[in-house]
């Protein structure tokens, strides 16, 4: 299928992106290129940083607990949980193979 303006206009996002691309080419040709940058506000960035630090520290603490339990010989993973993880990973892999095969 040949792509032209008529086929692009049928898909709104593609049409608008194509128009934006054309506008950028025109601006570049004129030599007046203006960059657009989107930056989060300081409050948003602080919230993002706080959430990241909280997740990292929580995960780190949990990993340390498991490492200590394994080293002391007190870690006994559930055979049912192990089996469930293996089965779910196999299901995901089978679905991916089926999707790629079609």
Domain limits, the chain: 1-34
And the tokens for 43? Answer: 């409050």
pLDDT of residue 90: 93
pLDDT of residue 49: 85
Q: How many CB atoms lie within 10 A of CB 14?
A: 13
pTM of the model: 0.35
pLDDT along the chain (102 residues), means of 10: 51 52 59 68 84 85 92 91 93 93 82
Residue among 22, 38, 18, 41 at smallest CA distance from 30:
22
**Between vectors from CA 28 to CA 23 and to CA 31, what angle results, nearest 5°?**
130
Query: What's the CA gap between 55 and 60, in Å, rounded?
Result: 8
pLDDT of residue 38: 63
pLDDT of residue 77: 85
pLDDT of residue 14: 47
Query: What's the CA gap between 66 and 56, in Å, rounded?
Result: 15
Backbone dihedral angles phi then psi of residue 78, each to the nearest 5 degrees: -75, 125
């Amino acid at each position: 299928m040949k792509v032209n303006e008529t086929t692009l206009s049928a898909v709104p996002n593609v049409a608008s992106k194509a128009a934006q691309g054309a506008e950028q080419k025109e601006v570049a040709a004129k030599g007046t290129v203006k960059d657009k940058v989107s930056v989060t506000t300081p409050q948003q960035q602080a919230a993002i940083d706080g959430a990241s630090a909280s997740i990292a520290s929580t995960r780190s603490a949990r990993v340390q607990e498991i490492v200590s339990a394994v080293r002391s010989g007190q870690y006994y993973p559930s055979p049912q949980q192990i089996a469930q993880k293996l089965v779910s990973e196999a299901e995901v892999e089978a679905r991916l193979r089926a999707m790629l095969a079609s």
